[in-house]
């Protein structure tokens, strides 16, 4: 795969990742993006996109592709990683089949966000050189992780991040520190992606409701905090 | 991401017909005429006011300005509580009609009317015997009750003089007020154009929507690959591939209630909750061995969303 032949969707998804627009992608698309990131050329392309983006913004970039691959490996190795809510209660049965996809997607978001955030810094800073979540080991995941790499991940996690806990079986497969860090990141990012998407749906609906239900702009009164971050103001 | 707008519609007929002069339940007031006057009020009048929005005992206030200049509408909405946020819409031709507006006007091709019915087939309209006073103005009261479980009822106060909607209450199946808009101050006419100037830096401009002109008057079909079982009375309005929203978005309206259907490829978490009075309903379904997630957003009962989402299929 190269620039010319790379799947158009993958190019758009990478572009979305660099533009902090991952919230525009569905979980399916994020999953596909993560899968595409296993291709070396895709990562090369990502690096070039990131480099171009960062040069334009005056930063220096090193996307740290091994980080992406490593997390992907870790997620794939986990056989049945379902999450529970922050209250610690059991997920409804009907949600469970979605859990693994949700986790993978959210980690993809987290990692791409993380790579984007972390690697637009000076070349002298510490770089991740090995996966954060490494190879499968005896049915679980060996979270043998260098301190540098773990720090890199932790830098991407806001201190007030929402903490989700994994199912008991899955929890045992992680060392405490790495598990807590990665799962906190995943849940928070997943929640953000969903919330952003629903917010966009709501605003889109209100725009068209205001045109089609004969009540002018009144429908916009339904949202106390009108979404204006995509403003085109001048 | 590519933006592809493909608006076409089932609806269509832009020449404004004169609505039936039928007198509806309990009053000598021409209810279709009153509804059209209300719709025209929002599009044709110059007004500037503050309104209160209440839902679940939570209340906030909003400023709204609407002017018509050179045959085009200019509108601004500003939240007055909490952080300021602002929406602008400008340049929509005053004679530009959207499908939902045509439904209210009973202005659809005859064949389509037979398919979706008219408003009185799905709602009972009752005009109150006594006027009310809202924002210092006298208003008719119009009670609108649904005849099925696929839409909510309304109680409206419509300005006697101008036709502008002054007070709107959305009623649940059990007759409880789910939400209400109510003007608390209103200036009609003689509005300074300066009132349209945004007061925030990050205001958002929203699209004006495509007009239902002759080009779109194809009773044939629209470009959406999807088909759903709609409750009677709802008509297809718009199909789009909006940037940053969803691969597929389809809007439906019965003239009073509107909902939007989003279709994403892939499986996601099922959910049903309300943002205020707006239902956000998502579920994944298998369509010819492909998994899609359907999200229905609208001020509608859950039964409507369930019926629509569960029946998604290719044409």
Contact assessment for residue A33 and residue A11, using Cβ atoms and an 8 Å cutoff: no
Q: Above 50 in pLDDT, residue B248?
A: yes
Q: What is the pLDDT of residues B106-159, one digit of tens each?
A: 665 555 554 566 888 999 999 998 899 999 999 999 999 999 999 999 999 999
Q: What is the pLDDT of residues B259-270, one digit of tens each?
A: 999 998 888 888
| Tokens linked to B110 | 């005859």
> Which residues does chain B have within 8 Å of residue A94's beta carbon, measured at their own beta carbons?
270
For B251, which of A31, A212, A215 is closest by C-beta distance? A212
Please give the torsion angle defined by the CA atoms of residues B185, B187, B191 and B195, in that order, rounded to the nearest 10 degrees. Answer: 10
Q: What is the overall mean pLDDT for chain A?
A: 49
Q: Do B204 and A101 touch (CB under 8 A)?
A: no
Give which of B11, B204, B290 to mutate to test A binding, by max A Cβ within 10 Å.
B204
From the list B251, B263, B255, the residue with the least C-alpha distance to B290 is: B263
Q: Do A233 and B264 touch (CB under 8 A)?
A: no
Q: How far apart (Å, rounded) are the C-alpha atoms in residues A79 and B156?
A: 56
pLDDT tier, A206 (very low <50, low <70, confident <90, very high otherwise): confident
Sheet arrangement for strand B258-265: B4-5, B235-241, B248-253, B258-265, B290-298, B278-287, B271-275
Q: Do A205 and B278 touch (CB under 8 A)?
A: yes
Q: What is the overall mean pLDDT for chain B?
A: 81
For A199-226, give one letter per residue: b (16+ CB within 10 A) or e.
Answer: bbbbbbbbbbbbbbbbbbbbbbbbbbeb
For B267, which of A29, A101, A214 is closest by C-beta distance? A101
The reported pLDDT for the residue numbered B152 is 95
Distance from CA of B163 to the nearest CA of A (A): 11
Give me the domains of chain B, ranges plus CATH numbers: 15-205 (2.50.20.10), 214-314 (3.30.200.100)
Give which of B63, B254, B297, B304 to mutate to test A binding, by max A Cβ within 10 Å.
B297
The Cα-based distances of A74 to A134, A145, A191 in angstroms read 6, 12, 21
Beta bridge pairs of residue B25: none
Contact assessment for residue B231 and residue B307, using Cβ atoms and an 8 Å cutoff: yes
Q: What percent of chain B has pLDDT over 90?
A: 48
Q: Above 50 in pLDDT, residue A147?
A: no
Q: Compare all CA atoms of chain B with the CA of A230 and give the residue at the minimum distance.
A: B204
Q: What is the pLDDT of residues B156-179, one digit of tens each?
A: 999 999 999 999 999 998 889 999
What count of other Cβ atoms lies within 10 Å of the Cβ of residue B96? 20
> Which residues does chain A have within 8 Å of residue B265's beta carbon, measured at their own beta carbons?
26, 28-29
Three-state DSSP class for B279?
strand
The reported pLDDT for the residue numbered A221 is 82
Distance from CA of B235 to the nearest CA of A (A): 11
Q: Above 90 in pLDDT, residue A119?
A: no
Q: Above 60 in pLDDT, residue B39?
A: yes
The reported pLDDT for the residue numbered A15 is 63
Q: Do B237 and A214 touch (CB under 8 A)?
A: no
Distance from CA of B315 to the nearest CA of A (A): 23
A90 vs A46, which has greater pLDDT?
Answer: A46
The reported pLDDT for the residue numbered A187 is 75
Three-state DSSP class for B141?
strand
Q: Compare all CA atoms of chain A with the CA of B237 and give the residue at the minimum distance.
A: A212
Backbone angles phi, psi at A154, to 5 degrees: -60, -30
Q: Which residues lie closer than 8 Å to A12 by C-beta, 6 or more apart?
A: B1
From the list A218, A107, A74, A19, the residue with the least C-alpha distance to B258 is: A218
The reported pLDDT for the residue numbered B36 is 85
Give, in degrees to the nearest 5, the angle at Cα A146 between A140 and A151: 105
Q: Above 90 in pLDDT, residue A217?
A: no
Q: How far apart (Å, rounded) are the C-alpha atoms in residues A28 and A36?
A: 12
> Which residues does chain A have within 8 Å of residue B296's beta carbon, measured at their own beta carbons?
none
The reported pLDDT for the residue numbered B235 is 82
Q: Which of A78-92, B51-65, B66-80, B292-306 has the lowest mean pLDDT?
A: A78-92
Q: Residue written as tokens 């290719």?
A: B314
> Which residues does chain A have within 8 Å of residue B269's beta carbon, measured at their own beta carbons?
95, 98, 102, 194
Beta bridge pairs of residue B146: B123
Q: Above 90 in pLDDT, residue B300?
A: yes
Distance from CA of A222 to the nearest CA of B (A): 7
Q: Please state the domain extents for chain A.
A: 8-202
Q: Do A214 and B66 touch (CB under 8 A)?
A: no
Q: How far apart (Å, rounded) are the C-alpha atoms in residues B39 and A1?
A: 55
């Amino acid at each position: 795969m190269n620039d010319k032949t790379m799947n158009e969707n993958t190019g758009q998804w990478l572009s979305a990742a660099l533009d902090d627009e991952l919230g525009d992608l569905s979980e399916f698309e994020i999953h596909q993006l993560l899968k595409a990131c296993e291709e070396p050329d895709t990562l090369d392309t990502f690096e070039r996109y990131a480099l171009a983006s960062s040069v334009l913004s005056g930063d220096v970039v090193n996307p740290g592709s091994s980080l992406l691959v490593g997390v992907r490996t870790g997620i794939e190795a986990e056989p049945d990683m379902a999450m529970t809510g922050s209250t610690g209660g059991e997920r409804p049965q009907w949600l469970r089949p979605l859990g693994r996809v949700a986790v993978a997607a959210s980690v993809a978001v987290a990692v791409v966000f993380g790579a984007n955030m972390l690697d637009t810094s000076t070349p002298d800073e510490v770089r991740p050189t090995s996966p954060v979540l490494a190879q499968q080991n005896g049915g679980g995941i060996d979270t043998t992780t260098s301190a540098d790499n773990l720090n890199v991940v932790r830098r991407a996690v806001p201190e007030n991040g929402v903490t989700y806990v994994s199912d008991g079986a899955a929890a045992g497969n992680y060392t405490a520190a790495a598990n807590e860090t990665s799962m906190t990141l995943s849940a928070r990012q997943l929640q953000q992606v969903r919330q952003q998407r629903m917010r966009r749906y709501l605003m889109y609906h209100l725009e068209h409701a205001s045109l089609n239900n004969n009540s002018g702009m009144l429908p916009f009164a339904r949202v106390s905090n009108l979404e204006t971050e995509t403003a085109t103001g001048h | 991401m590519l933006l592809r707008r493909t608006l076409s519609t089932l609806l269509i007929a832009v020449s404004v017909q004169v609505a039936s002069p039928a007198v509806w339940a309990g009053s000598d007031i021409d209810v279709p005429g009153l509804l059209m006057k209300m719709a025209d009020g929002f599009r044709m009048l110059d007004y500037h006011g503050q309104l209160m929005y209440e839902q679940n005992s939570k209340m906030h206030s909003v400023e709204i300005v609407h002017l018509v200049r050179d045959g085009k509408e200019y509108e601004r909405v500003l939240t007055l509580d909490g952080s300021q946020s602002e929406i602008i819409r400008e340049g929509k031709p005053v004679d530009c009609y959207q499908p939902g507006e045509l439904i209210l006007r009973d202005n659809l091709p005859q064949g389509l009317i037979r398919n979706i019915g008219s408003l009185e087939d799905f709602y009972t309209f009752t005009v109150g015997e006594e006027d009310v006073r809202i924002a210092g103005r006298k208003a008719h009261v119009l009670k609108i009750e649904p005849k099925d479980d696929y839409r909510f009822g309304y109680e409206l106060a419509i300005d006697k003089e101008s036709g502008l909607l002054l007070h709107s209450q959305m009623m649940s199946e059990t007759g409880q007020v789910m939400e209400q808009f109510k003007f608390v101050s209103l200036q009609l006419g003689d509005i300074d154009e300066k009132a349209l100037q945004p007061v925030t830096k990050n205001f958002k401009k929203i699209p004006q929507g495509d007009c239902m002109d002759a080009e779109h008057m194809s009773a044939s079909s629209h470009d959406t690959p999807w088909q759903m079982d709609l409750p009677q009375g709802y008509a297809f309005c718009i199909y789009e591939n909006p940037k940053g929203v969803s691969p597929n978005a389809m809007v439906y309206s019965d003239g009073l209630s509107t909902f939007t259907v989003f279709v994403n490829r892939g499986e996601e978490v099922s959910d049903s909750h309300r943002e205020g009075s707006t239902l956000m309903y998502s579920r994944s379904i298998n369509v010819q061995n492909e998994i899609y997630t359907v999200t229905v957003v609208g001020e509608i009962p859950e039964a409507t969303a369930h019926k629509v989402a569960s029946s998604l299929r290719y044409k």
